[in-house]
Structure 1
Amino acid sequence: MQNRISSFPPIIDYNSKILILGSIPGVKSLEKQQYYGHPQNKFWKIIFELFNEEFTEDYIERIDILKKHHIALWDVIDSCERKGSLDSEIRNEEANQIAELLEKHPNIRAIFCNGGKSYKNLQKILGKDFKIPVFLMPSTSPLHTISFERKLDGWKTILNFL
Protein backbone atom coordinates (compact mmCIF):
# COMPACT_ATOMS: atom_id res chain seq x y z
CA MET A 1 0.00 0.00 0.00
CA GLN A 2 1.37 3.38 -1.04
CA ASN A 3 1.04 6.62 0.85
CA ARG A 4 -2.01 8.61 -0.11
CA ILE A 5 -1.32 11.95 -1.80
CA SER A 6 -3.70 14.85 -2.31
CA SER A 7 -4.06 17.60 -4.88
CA PHE A 8 -3.88 21.31 -4.10
CA PRO A 9 -6.88 23.62 -3.78
CA PRO A 10 -7.99 25.18 -7.06
CA ILE A 11 -6.55 28.49 -8.18
CA ILE A 12 -9.66 30.23 -9.45
CA ASP A 13 -11.60 33.45 -9.10
CA TYR A 14 -14.81 34.97 -10.42
CA ASN A 15 -13.05 36.28 -13.56
CA SER A 16 -11.65 32.89 -14.62
CA LYS A 17 -12.67 31.96 -18.17
CA ILE A 18 -10.47 28.93 -18.74
CA LEU A 19 -9.90 25.94 -16.48
CA ILE A 20 -6.70 23.94 -16.93
CA LEU A 21 -6.79 20.51 -15.31
CA GLY A 22 -3.84 18.26 -14.57
CA SER A 23 -4.07 14.78 -13.06
CA ILE A 24 -2.48 15.22 -9.60
CA PRO A 25 0.80 16.87 -8.53
CA GLY A 26 4.01 14.89 -8.93
CA VAL A 27 6.63 14.36 -6.23
CA LYS A 28 8.52 17.63 -6.89
CA SER A 29 5.32 19.67 -6.98
CA LEU A 30 4.18 18.13 -3.70
CA GLU A 31 7.58 18.88 -2.12
CA LYS A 32 7.39 22.52 -3.26
CA GLN A 33 3.62 22.78 -2.68
CA GLN A 34 3.32 24.34 -6.14
CA TYR A 35 1.46 23.41 -9.29
CA TYR A 36 3.91 22.18 -11.94
CA GLY A 37 6.87 22.45 -9.58
CA HIS A 38 9.20 20.08 -11.46
CA PRO A 39 11.91 22.21 -13.11
CA GLN A 40 11.65 20.21 -16.37
CA ASN A 41 7.88 20.58 -16.68
CA LYS A 42 7.12 23.10 -19.45
CA PHE A 43 3.76 24.34 -18.09
CA TRP A 44 4.97 27.70 -16.81
CA LYS A 45 7.22 28.32 -19.79
CA ILE A 46 4.26 27.68 -22.12
CA ILE A 47 1.95 30.03 -20.16
CA PHE A 48 4.52 32.84 -20.20
CA GLU A 49 5.19 32.34 -23.93
CA LEU A 50 1.48 32.31 -24.81
CA PHE A 51 0.88 35.63 -23.10
CA ASN A 52 4.21 37.32 -23.88
CA GLU A 53 4.96 37.67 -20.18
CA GLU A 54 8.44 37.89 -18.72
CA PHE A 55 9.32 34.50 -17.21
CA THR A 56 9.69 34.28 -13.45
CA GLU A 57 10.45 31.52 -10.96
CA ASP A 58 8.42 33.35 -8.29
CA TYR A 59 5.33 31.22 -7.63
CA ILE A 60 3.18 34.10 -6.35
CA GLU A 61 3.93 36.06 -9.53
CA ARG A 62 3.13 32.99 -11.63
CA ILE A 63 -0.28 32.72 -9.97
CA ASP A 64 -0.84 36.46 -10.55
CA ILE A 65 -0.12 35.95 -14.28
CA LEU A 66 -2.71 33.15 -14.45
CA LYS A 67 -5.31 35.35 -12.79
CA LYS A 68 -4.42 38.33 -14.99
CA HIS A 69 -5.20 36.18 -18.02
CA HIS A 70 -8.36 34.64 -16.48
CA ILE A 71 -6.93 31.13 -16.15
CA ALA A 72 -7.94 28.74 -13.38
CA LEU A 73 -5.86 25.72 -12.38
CA TRP A 74 -6.80 22.46 -10.67
CA ASP A 75 -6.48 18.68 -10.91
CA VAL A 76 -9.06 16.03 -11.77
CA ILE A 77 -7.88 13.78 -8.93
CA ASP A 78 -8.42 14.86 -5.33
CA SER A 79 -6.37 12.05 -3.80
CA CYS A 80 -4.82 8.73 -4.75
CA GLU A 81 -2.06 6.28 -3.97
CA ARG A 82 0.98 6.57 -6.21
CA LYS A 83 4.59 5.47 -6.19
CA GLY A 84 6.72 8.18 -7.82
CA SER A 85 5.20 10.70 -10.22
CA LEU A 86 3.90 8.61 -13.13
CA ASP A 87 0.19 8.81 -13.94
CA SER A 88 0.36 5.10 -14.83
CA GLU A 89 1.16 4.38 -11.15
CA ILE A 90 -2.01 6.06 -9.83
CA ARG A 91 -4.23 3.72 -7.80
CA ASN A 92 -7.42 4.08 -5.74
CA GLU A 93 -8.14 7.58 -6.94
CA GLU A 94 -10.87 9.89 -5.69
CA ALA A 95 -12.12 12.59 -8.07
CA ASN A 96 -12.22 16.31 -7.39
CA GLN A 97 -15.62 17.99 -7.48
CA ILE A 98 -15.23 19.50 -10.97
CA ALA A 99 -18.96 19.90 -11.69
CA GLU A 100 -19.47 21.80 -8.43
CA LEU A 101 -16.51 24.07 -9.18
CA LEU A 102 -17.97 24.87 -12.60
CA GLU A 103 -21.38 25.62 -11.05
CA LYS A 104 -19.78 28.12 -8.70
CA HIS A 105 -17.77 29.69 -11.55
CA PRO A 106 -20.18 30.16 -14.48
CA ASN A 107 -17.69 32.28 -16.45
CA ILE A 108 -15.59 29.22 -17.34
CA ARG A 109 -15.88 28.88 -21.15
CA ALA A 110 -13.56 25.95 -21.84
CA ILE A 111 -11.57 23.24 -20.08
CA PHE A 112 -8.06 22.27 -21.14
CA CYS A 113 -6.71 18.94 -19.91
CA ASN A 114 -2.94 18.76 -19.47
CA GLY A 115 -2.36 15.24 -20.79
CA GLY A 116 -4.32 12.04 -21.36
CA LYS A 117 -4.93 10.96 -17.76
CA SER A 118 -6.60 14.28 -16.95
CA TYR A 119 -8.74 14.07 -20.10
CA LYS A 120 -9.88 10.47 -19.55
CA ASN A 121 -10.71 11.12 -15.91
CA LEU A 122 -12.64 14.28 -16.73
CA GLN A 123 -14.75 12.40 -19.27
CA LYS A 124 -15.59 9.85 -16.56
CA ILE A 125 -16.49 12.64 -14.13
CA LEU A 126 -18.54 14.88 -16.44
CA GLY A 127 -19.60 12.53 -19.23
CA LYS A 128 -18.91 13.01 -22.93
CA ASP A 129 -21.83 15.37 -23.64
CA PHE A 130 -20.77 18.11 -21.29
CA LYS A 131 -21.88 21.64 -22.23
CA ILE A 132 -18.44 23.32 -21.94
CA PRO A 133 -15.84 22.43 -24.62
CA VAL A 134 -13.08 20.16 -23.33
CA PHE A 135 -9.69 19.93 -25.04
CA LEU A 136 -6.91 17.38 -24.69
CA MET A 137 -3.64 19.31 -24.66
CA PRO A 138 -0.11 17.95 -25.13
CA SER A 139 1.22 17.08 -21.69
CA THR A 140 3.74 19.59 -20.36
CA SER A 141 5.49 16.79 -18.46
CA PRO A 142 9.14 16.06 -19.29
CA LEU A 143 8.03 12.45 -19.91
CA HIS A 144 6.02 13.63 -22.93
CA THR A 145 8.94 13.92 -25.30
CA ILE A 146 7.62 16.02 -28.18
CA SER A 147 9.47 19.30 -28.71
CA PHE A 148 8.70 22.44 -26.74
CA GLU A 149 7.58 24.13 -29.98
CA ARG A 150 5.01 21.39 -30.67
CA LYS A 151 3.73 21.59 -27.09
CA LEU A 152 3.46 25.38 -27.32
CA ASP A 153 1.71 25.14 -30.68
CA GLY A 154 -0.88 22.76 -29.22
CA TRP A 155 -1.53 25.02 -26.25
CA LYS A 156 -2.25 28.05 -28.47
CA THR A 157 -5.89 26.86 -28.65
CA ILE A 158 -6.40 28.56 -25.28
CA LEU A 159 -6.08 31.97 -26.91
CA ASN A 160 -9.34 31.38 -28.81
CA PHE A 161 -11.33 31.34 -25.55
CA LEU A 162 -10.14 34.52 -23.86
Structure 2
Amino acid sequence: MQRKSAFPPSVDEHTRLLILGSLPGDASIRQGEYYAHRGNAFWSLIGDVLGEDLRALPYALRLKRLRARHVGLWDVIESADREGSLDSAIRGAELRDLGAFIARLPSLEAVAFNGRTAALHGRRQIGSRPDLALIDLPSSSGAYASLPREAKRRAWAVLAAHVSG
Protein backbone atom coordinates (compact mmCIF):
# COMPACT_ATOMS: atom_id res chain seq x y z
CA MET A 1 0.00 0.00 0.00
CA GLN A 2 1.22 3.46 -0.81
CA ARG A 3 1.16 6.56 1.42
CA LYS A 4 -0.59 9.39 -0.40
CA SER A 5 -0.70 13.05 0.57
CA ALA A 6 -3.17 15.80 -0.16
CA PHE A 7 -2.58 19.20 -1.76
CA PRO A 8 -2.34 22.58 -0.07
CA PRO A 9 -5.62 24.46 0.27
CA SER A 10 -6.88 26.74 -2.47
CA VAL A 11 -8.44 29.51 -0.36
CA ASP A 12 -8.02 33.15 0.54
CA GLU A 13 -9.42 35.54 3.17
CA HIS A 14 -12.54 36.06 1.03
CA THR A 15 -13.53 32.37 0.86
CA ARG A 16 -17.24 32.07 1.65
CA LEU A 17 -17.74 28.46 0.56
CA LEU A 18 -15.18 25.73 1.27
CA ILE A 19 -15.60 22.46 -0.62
CA LEU A 20 -13.86 19.57 1.09
CA GLY A 21 -13.04 16.29 -0.59
CA SER A 22 -11.50 13.25 1.06
CA LEU A 23 -8.05 12.70 -0.51
CA PRO A 24 -6.91 13.23 -4.11
CA GLY A 25 -7.06 10.18 -6.36
CA ASP A 26 -4.13 8.84 -8.34
CA ALA A 27 -4.85 10.89 -11.49
CA SER A 28 -5.02 14.07 -9.41
CA ILE A 29 -1.79 13.23 -7.58
CA ARG A 30 0.01 12.48 -10.86
CA GLN A 31 -1.13 15.79 -12.38
CA GLY A 32 -0.93 17.85 -9.19
CA GLU A 33 -4.50 19.07 -9.73
CA TYR A 34 -7.70 18.71 -7.76
CA TYR A 35 -10.28 16.49 -9.53
CA ALA A 36 -8.05 15.65 -12.51
CA HIS A 37 -9.61 12.29 -13.40
CA ARG A 38 -11.62 12.56 -16.59
CA GLY A 39 -14.51 10.63 -15.05
CA ASN A 40 -14.84 12.99 -12.08
CA ALA A 41 -17.68 15.47 -12.60
CA PHE A 42 -16.44 18.06 -10.10
CA TRP A 43 -15.49 20.76 -12.63
CA SER A 44 -18.73 20.27 -14.50
CA LEU A 45 -20.85 20.34 -11.33
CA ILE A 46 -19.22 23.41 -9.79
CA GLY A 47 -19.18 25.06 -13.22
CA ASP A 48 -22.95 24.63 -13.39
CA VAL A 49 -23.29 26.20 -9.94
CA LEU A 50 -21.21 29.19 -11.07
CA GLY A 51 -22.71 29.37 -14.56
CA GLU A 52 -19.26 28.97 -16.14
CA ASP A 53 -17.63 26.25 -18.25
CA LEU A 54 -14.65 25.64 -16.01
CA ARG A 55 -13.71 22.40 -17.80
CA ALA A 56 -12.59 24.42 -20.83
CA LEU A 57 -10.07 26.43 -18.77
CA PRO A 58 -6.51 25.52 -17.82
CA TYR A 59 -6.26 24.33 -14.23
CA ALA A 60 -4.67 27.53 -12.84
CA LEU A 61 -7.53 29.58 -14.30
CA ARG A 62 -10.10 27.19 -12.84
CA LEU A 63 -8.71 27.83 -9.37
CA LYS A 64 -8.56 31.57 -10.06
CA ARG A 65 -12.24 31.58 -11.13
CA LEU A 66 -13.22 29.69 -7.97
CA ARG A 67 -11.35 32.17 -5.78
CA ALA A 68 -12.95 35.08 -7.67
CA ARG A 69 -16.34 33.63 -6.73
CA HIS A 70 -15.13 33.05 -3.12
CA VAL A 71 -15.01 29.27 -3.38
CA GLY A 72 -12.16 27.33 -1.79
CA LEU A 73 -10.98 23.73 -2.09
CA TRP A 74 -9.24 21.39 0.28
CA ASP A 75 -9.42 17.85 1.65
CA VAL A 76 -10.26 16.45 5.07
CA ILE A 77 -7.40 13.93 5.00
CA GLU A 78 -3.77 15.08 5.08
CA SER A 79 -2.34 11.68 4.15
CA ALA A 80 -3.31 8.03 4.16
CA ASP A 81 -2.30 4.61 2.91
CA ARG A 82 -4.35 3.69 -0.11
CA GLU A 83 -4.03 1.30 -3.01
CA GLY A 84 -5.72 2.95 -5.99
CA SER A 85 -8.10 5.88 -5.70
CA LEU A 86 -11.23 4.62 -3.93
CA ASP A 87 -12.15 6.11 -0.57
CA SER A 88 -13.06 2.62 0.63
CA ALA A 89 -9.36 1.68 0.33
CA ILE A 90 -8.15 4.47 2.66
CA ARG A 91 -6.25 3.16 5.68
CA GLY A 92 -4.37 4.94 8.45
CA ALA A 93 -5.78 8.37 7.62
CA GLU A 94 -4.07 11.40 9.15
CA LEU A 95 -6.80 14.00 9.40
CA ARG A 96 -6.49 17.77 9.01
CA ASP A 97 -7.11 20.21 11.85
CA LEU A 98 -10.18 21.66 10.14
CA GLY A 99 -11.35 23.56 13.21
CA ALA A 100 -8.18 25.65 13.34
CA PHE A 101 -8.15 26.02 9.57
CA ILE A 102 -11.67 27.36 9.20
CA ALA A 103 -11.10 29.73 12.12
CA ARG A 104 -8.60 31.52 9.83
CA LEU A 105 -11.25 32.09 7.12
CA PRO A 106 -13.13 35.20 8.32
CA SER A 107 -15.70 35.23 5.47
CA LEU A 108 -16.56 31.53 5.61
CA GLU A 109 -20.28 30.84 5.73
CA ALA A 110 -20.58 27.29 4.36
CA VAL A 111 -18.61 24.07 4.18
CA ALA A 112 -19.63 21.49 1.59
CA PHE A 113 -18.48 17.88 1.73
CA ASN A 114 -17.87 16.19 -1.61
CA GLY A 115 -18.97 12.66 -0.80
CA ARG A 116 -19.66 10.50 2.22
CA THR A 117 -16.05 10.04 3.37
CA ALA A 118 -15.42 13.79 3.35
CA ALA A 119 -18.66 14.37 5.29
CA LEU A 120 -17.91 11.67 7.86
CA HIS A 121 -14.41 12.96 8.68
CA GLY A 122 -15.17 16.64 8.12
CA ARG A 123 -18.27 16.83 10.28
CA ARG A 124 -16.45 15.00 13.08
CA GLN A 125 -13.59 17.52 12.94
CA ILE A 126 -15.72 20.66 12.62
CA GLY A 127 -18.37 19.66 15.15
CA SER A 128 -21.45 21.75 15.76
CA ARG A 129 -21.11 25.20 14.21
CA PRO A 130 -24.35 27.19 14.11
CA ASP A 131 -22.48 29.96 12.27
CA LEU A 132 -21.71 27.66 9.32
CA ALA A 133 -23.94 25.84 6.86
CA LEU A 134 -22.63 22.26 6.58
CA ILE A 135 -23.71 20.69 3.31
CA ASP A 136 -23.37 17.02 2.36
CA LEU A 137 -23.06 16.53 -1.39
CA PRO A 138 -23.15 13.38 -3.47
CA SER A 139 -19.62 12.53 -4.57
CA SER A 140 -18.53 13.98 -7.89
CA SER A 141 -16.42 10.86 -8.45
CA GLY A 142 -17.14 8.70 -11.46
CA ALA A 143 -16.87 5.74 -9.09
CA TYR A 144 -20.14 6.92 -7.50
CA ALA A 145 -22.27 6.00 -10.48
CA SER A 146 -25.43 4.89 -8.68
CA LEU A 147 -26.69 8.48 -8.75
CA PRO A 148 -27.18 9.95 -12.24
CA ARG A 149 -25.25 13.11 -13.09
CA GLU A 150 -28.46 15.16 -13.36
CA ALA A 151 -29.39 14.20 -9.78
CA LYS A 152 -25.91 15.20 -8.65
CA ARG A 153 -26.31 18.51 -10.50
CA ARG A 154 -29.58 19.22 -8.67
CA ALA A 155 -28.01 18.38 -5.31
CA TRP A 156 -24.97 20.59 -5.99
CA ALA A 157 -27.20 23.52 -7.00
CA VAL A 158 -27.69 24.40 -3.29
CA LEU A 159 -24.15 25.77 -3.33
CA ALA A 160 -25.26 28.73 -5.48
CA ALA A 161 -26.57 30.51 -2.39
CA HIS A 162 -23.00 30.66 -1.03
CA VAL A 163 -21.05 31.95 -4.05
CA SER A 164 -20.53 35.50 -5.23
CA GLY A 165 -22.13 36.66 -8.45
Bin for the TM-score computed over the shorter chain: over 0.9
1-side partners of 2:154 and 2:126: how far apart? Answer: 27
2-side partners of 1:54 and 1:126: how far apart? Answer: 31
Partner of 1:83: 83
2-side partners of 1:107 and 1:82: how far apart? Answer: 34
Query: Which residue identity is paired with 2:156?
Result: W
2-side partners of 1:22 and 1:115: how far apart? Answer: 7
Shift of 1:97: 1.9
Shift of 1:134: 0.8
Shift of 1:138: 0.9
What TM-score, normalized by structure 2, do the two folds share?
Answer: 0.93
Partner of 1:37: 36
The answer (yes or no) to whether the contact 2:23–2:78 under 8 Å persists in 1 is yes
Aligned-residue CA RMSD (Å): 1.1
Partner of 1:139: 139
1:107 has 2:107 as partner: yes
The answer (yes or no) to whether the contact 2:21–2:75 under 8 Å persists in 1 is yes
Which stretches of structure 1, 4 residues or longer, exceed 3 Å deviation after superposition?
Answer: none
Shift of 1:57: 4.3
2-side partners of 1:47 and 1:158: how far apart? Answer: 8
Partner of 1:68: 68
CA distances 1:41-97 after superposition (whole Å, capped 9, x unpaired): 000011112222134241011101111110010000000000000101100011112
Query: Which residue identity is paired with 1:47?
Result: I
The DSSP-based 3-state class of the residue aligned with 1:106 is: coil
Give aligned-pair identity as a percent.
32
What TM-score, normalized by structure 1, do the two folds share?
Answer: 0.94
The answer to which of 139-148 and 20-29 deviates more is: 139-148
Query: Which residue identity is paired with 1:156?
Result: A
Query: Which residue identity is paired with 2:112?
Result: F
The DSSP-based 3-state class of the residue aligned with 1:45 is: helix
Tell me how many residue pairs correspond in the alignment: 160
1-side partners of 2:53 and 2:31: how far apart? Answer: 22
The DSSP-based 3-state class of the residue aligned with 1:21 is: strand
Partner of 2:149: 148
In structure 2, stretches of 5+ residues that fail to align are: none
Shift of 1:130: 2.4
